């Protein structure tokens, strides 16, 4: 009824509504710690079939198809750009099996489920079955972070999703081209030749554009820095359009190959390119999802019956477990990790986007049940995201593959100050890891029994060895100000700037040494440098951890701890936040305050709560 009342928003207002709903849904999901895809689905259904505010075919007209096609192309290029083969680490063998064996098996089992459970034709089932290889990296990453899964199974699931993302789309492209050729009336030989030429041209075009058009040109300085992202984007669109003109839908293959070549070219500009793909993916994923959800036909949604539910059950309970179990036979993976991976397979935005695209193409080619692909894809995504969103963390704990401790602190820099800070936190059951590129700086924390990592925290060895998901906060506190700034600047976009802190630099209060605000981490400790903290320890200052209660609040703590220097606040959920200035500290009952106390304040009366204060151990003696 609402659709009949509205005359349409017009393209400009429709674009604004799509952007607001898509990005707004992702922001709300971040705030509420919910899977973004569920909120985007709800938003699209509300403004589309629900209220009739947005009907893509009406508001965008003939542009709807090309818009979705270009957006899917950029999304698949982003998937290819994520395939840096050097980052697989010890998950390489398992990922190879899940891709080389698991992808074909998943295609086969999904196709059988679509034919015998959902009741689709073999043509439609073969195309949709290829898309079902995709498990959704944009969905699995936040779920893994929330579950704080062990590194190896997390790597397997993450890389399976990244690698299979473009492979699933390519499988659908191949199946779709075969279906179109069979319906074109060409002979088998002519059809095979057309298909081979089109696929070969797409692969060569993507590889040539990635190597000569981007990698080589960037490496030789033929493109200035400020034009690299625009040149990349224009090249991407040109490759997609040119390949698509030769063989319909082969542009998806070309841009995926292009992304794969660029990802493994070891370009120094990869940081800027990754930021581009991250920003583009957020916008395009949300836009495509809103458009597809808003464009769903109510009549097709009404056709989802018990066969659709049976299809979802077969895919989740039979097809996915069988695929993983067979693919990982003979590996050294423990059975718990295999079982966990077999029971984990959330689908995401790429599945819906590619399924919606090919569903429309099949329907236009005269295959009537192709229109059912879109609603089935939405149902599968909704079911798997909700299922795994609520069960992944408990399942990981059940299999002993996730920690139960609170997110911890990663300290970059070994010193007497960071060692005593870490010891105090460990006694409070906060996980801490100290890393330093200087082996001698780790002698003291190792002697104290603390967890350490020798090496550059920004290097590939650290990326392969450290379980960064276990550390929600980073403190850069080496004796090298430039290195601290580099670490904080590099990790801030990944972990969030609110979670990356840096010890004060020498002379940073002088105009000649002031850095731009976008460099470095957040300051703490009233602007004291590492040498300043070491001087306080020499003067007898000691760490104390105090829990606030209803009877012993922040005002009481300030009154009984005169001169205390508050460094860190731990809230009731275990989240860490360093304190910029003691005078502006805000804390509530249930929070804990870690502070450095001067000798005069160390004999203050104890807090009237058992084990409320956790004194730091005595300072270590001289090291040899």
Which residues 6+ apart lie within 8 Å of 580 measured at CB?
522, 523, 524, 526
State CA 375 to chain mean position distance.
Answer: 26
Say yes or no to pLDDT of 3 above 60.
Answer: no
Check residue 321 and give its pLDDT: 92
Compute CA distances 534 → 81, 325, 591, whole Å: 45, 55, 27
Cα–Cα distance between 459 and 466 in angstroms, integer? Answer: 11
Which residues 6+ apart lie within 8 Å of 596 measured at CB?
533, 536, 541, 542, 543, 544, 564, 565, 567
Least confident of 151-155, 203-207, 544-548: 151-155
What is the per-residue pLDDT across 119-164, written as a single tens digit (0 to 9) for each?
A: 888 888 888 888 888 887 667 766 776 666 777 787 788 778 777 7
pLDDT band at 318 (very low <50, low <70, confident <90, very high): very high
The alpha carbons of the chain give a radius of gyration, in whole angstroms, of 28
Tell me phi and psi for residue 255, to 5 degrees: -70, -30
Say yes or no to pLDDT of 21 above 60.
Answer: yes
- Whether the Cβ atoms of residue 594 and residue 613 lie closer than 8 Å to each other: no
Mean confidence (pLDDT) of the chain: 80
CB count in 10 Å sphere of residue 569 = 20
Tokens representing residue 79 in the block: 């998937």
- Crossing angle for the helix pair 251-263 and 151-183, to the nearest 10 degrees: 150
Cα–Cα distance between 22 and 14 in angstroms, integer? Answer: 12
Check residue 620 and give its pLDDT: 40
Compute CA distances 190 → 44, 196, 242, whole Å: 42, 10, 22
Largest CA distance in the chain: 94
- Whether the Cβ atoms of residue 71 and residue 284 lie closer than 8 Å to each other: yes
Least confident of 44-58, 83-97, 445-459, 523-537: 83-97
Check residue 606 and give its pLDDT: 47
CB count in 10 Å sphere of residue 572 = 11
Q: What percent of the chain has pLDDT over 70?
A: 83
pLDDT band at 175 (very low <50, low <70, confident <90, very high): confident
Tokens representing residue 190 in the block: 């002519």
Q: Are strands 592-597 and 565-570 parallel, antiparallel or unpaired?
A: antiparallel
User: With the CA atoms of 257, 260, 265 and 267 taken in that order, what torsion angle do they form, in degrees rounded to the nearest 10?
Assistant: 110
Alpha helix positions (H), 315-402: 320-327, 335-342, 349-364, 373-398
pLDDT band at 109 (very low <50, low <70, confident <90, very high): very high
Say yes or no to pLDDT of 622 above 50.
Answer: no
What is the per-residue pLDDT across 215-270, written as a single tens digit (0 to 9) for each?
A: 888 888 888 888 888 888 889 889 988 888 877 667 877 888 888 888 888 777 66
In sequence order, the β-bridge partners of residue 570 are 576, 592
Check residue 4 and give its pLDDT: 45
Check residue 558 and give its pLDDT: 86
Domain boundary assignment for the chain? 2-398, 408-615
Tokens representing residue 98 in the block: 């899940």
Q: What is the pTM of this model?
A: 0.66
| Element at 576 (helix H, strand E) | strand 576-578
Tokens representing residue 462 in the block: 């650290």
pLDDT band at 112 (very low <50, low <70, confident <90, very high): very high
Check residue 332 and give its pLDDT: 80
Compute CA distances 252 → 50, 165, 200, 361, 480, whole Å: 32, 12, 13, 14, 47
Check residue 120 and give its pLDDT: 87
Would you give the DSSP letter of residue 574? -
Which residues 6+ apart lie within 8 Å of 217 measured at CB?
223, 231
Say yes or no to pLDDT of 468 above 70.
Answer: no
**Locate tokens 């689709």: which residue?**
120
- CATH no. for 408-615: 3.40.50.720
- Crossing angle for the helix pair 320-327 and 92-100, to the nearest 10 degrees: 120
DSSP codes joined into one string, 426-453:
HHTT--EEEEES-GGGGHHHHHTT-EEE
- Whether the Cβ atoms of residue 76 and residue 256 lie closer than 8 Å to each other: yes
- CATH no. for 2-398: 1.20.1530.20
What is the per-residue pLDDT across 319-368, written as a single tens digit (0 to 9) for each?
A: 999 999 998 888 888 888 888 888 888 887 778 777 877 887 788 777 88
Which residues 6+ apart lie within 8 Å of 520 measured at CB?
484, 485, 488, 489, 502, 505
What is the arithmetic mean of pLDDT over 195-223?
85
Say yes or no to pLDDT of 404 above 60.
Answer: no
pLDDT band at 118 (very low <50, low <70, confident <90, very high): confident
Cα–Cα distance between 545 and 313 in angstroms, integer? Answer: 51
What is the arithmetic mean of pLDDT over 555-564?
86
Say yes or no to pLDDT of 166 above 70.
Answer: no
Q: Are strands 408-412 and 432-436 parallel, antiparallel or unpaired?
A: parallel
Check residue 248 and give its pLDDT: 67
Tell me phi and psi for residue 242, to 5 degrees: -65, -45
Residue with the bigger pLDDT between 285 and 420: it is 420
């Amino acid at each position: 009824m609402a659709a009949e009342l509205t005359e349409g928003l017009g393209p400009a207002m429709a674009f604004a509504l799509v952007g607001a709903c898509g990005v707004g849904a992702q922001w709300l999901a971040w705030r509420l710690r919910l899977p973004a895809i569920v909120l985007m689905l709800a938003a699209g259904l509300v403004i589309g079939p629900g209220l009739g505010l947005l009907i893509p075919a009406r508001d965008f007209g003939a542009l709807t198809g090309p818009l979705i096609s270009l957006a899917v192309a950029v999304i698949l290029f982003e998937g290819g750009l994520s395939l840096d083969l050097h980052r697989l680490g010890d998950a390489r063998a398992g990922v190879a099996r899940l891709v080389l064996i698991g992808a074909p098996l998943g295609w086969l089992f999904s196709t059988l489920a679509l034919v015998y459970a959902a009741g689709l034709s073999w043509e439609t089932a073969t195309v949709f079955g290829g898309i079902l290889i995709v498990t959704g990296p944009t969905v699995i990453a936040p779920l893994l972070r929330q579950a704080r899964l062990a590194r190896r199974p997390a790597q397997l699931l993450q890389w399976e999703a990244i690698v299979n993302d473009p492979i699933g789309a390519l499988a659908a492209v191949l199946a779709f081209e075969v279906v179109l050729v069979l319906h074109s009336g060409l002979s088998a030989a002519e059809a095979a030749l057309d298909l081979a030429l089109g696929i070969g041209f797409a692969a060569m075009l993507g590889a040539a554009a990635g190597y000569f058009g981007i990698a080589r040109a960037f490496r030789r300085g033929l493109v200035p820095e400020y034009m690299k992202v625009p040149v990349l984007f224009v090249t991407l669109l040109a490759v997609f359009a040119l390949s698509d003109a030769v063989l319909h839908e082969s542009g998806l293959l070309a841009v995926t190959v292009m992304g794969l070549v660029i990802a493994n070219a070891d370009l120094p500009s990869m940081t800027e390119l990754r930021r581009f793909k991250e920003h583009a993916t957020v916008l395009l994923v949300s836009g495509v999802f809103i458009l597809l959800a808003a464009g769903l036909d109510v009549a097709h949604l009404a056709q989802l019956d018990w066969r659709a539910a049976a299809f979802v059950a077969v895919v989740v309970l039979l097809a996915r477990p069988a695929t993983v179990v067979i693919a990982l036979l003979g590996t050294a993976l423990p059975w718990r990790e295999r079982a966990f991976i077999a029971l984990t397979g959330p689908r995401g935005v790429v599945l819906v986007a590619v399924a919606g695209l090919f569903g429309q193409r099949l329907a236009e080619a005269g295959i009537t049940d192709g229109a059912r692909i879109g609603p089935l894809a939405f149902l599968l995504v909704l079911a798997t995201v909700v299922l795994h969103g609520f069960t992944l963390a408990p399942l990981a704990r059940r299999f002993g593959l996730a920690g139960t401790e609170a997110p911890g602190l990663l300290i970059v820099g070994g010193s007497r100050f960071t060692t005593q800070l870490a010891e105090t936190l460990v006694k409070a059951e906060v996980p801490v890891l100290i890393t330093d590129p200087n082996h001698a700086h780790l002698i003291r924390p190792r002697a104290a029994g603390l967890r350490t990592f020798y090496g550059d925290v920004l290097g590939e060895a650290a990326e392969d060895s450290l379980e960064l998901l276990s550390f929600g906060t980073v403190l850069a506190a080496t004796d090298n100000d430039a290195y601290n700034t580099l670490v904080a600047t590099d990790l801030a976009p990944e972990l969030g700037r609110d979670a990356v802190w840096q010890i004060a630099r020498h002379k940073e209060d002088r105009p000649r040494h002031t850095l731009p605000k976008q460099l470095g981490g957040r300051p703490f400790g009233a602007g004291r440098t590492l040498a300043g903290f070491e001087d306080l320890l020499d003067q007898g200052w000691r760490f104390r951890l105090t829990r606030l209660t209803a009877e012993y609040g922040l005002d009481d703590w300030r009154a009984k701890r005169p001169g205390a220097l508050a460094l860190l606040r731990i809230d009731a959920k275990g989240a860490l936040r360093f304190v910029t200035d003691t005078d502006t500290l805000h804390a509530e009952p249930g929070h804990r305050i870690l502070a450095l106390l001067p000798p005069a304040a160390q004999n203050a009366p104890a807090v009237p709560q058992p084990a409320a204060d956790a004194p730091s151990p005595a300072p270590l003696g001289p090291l040899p």
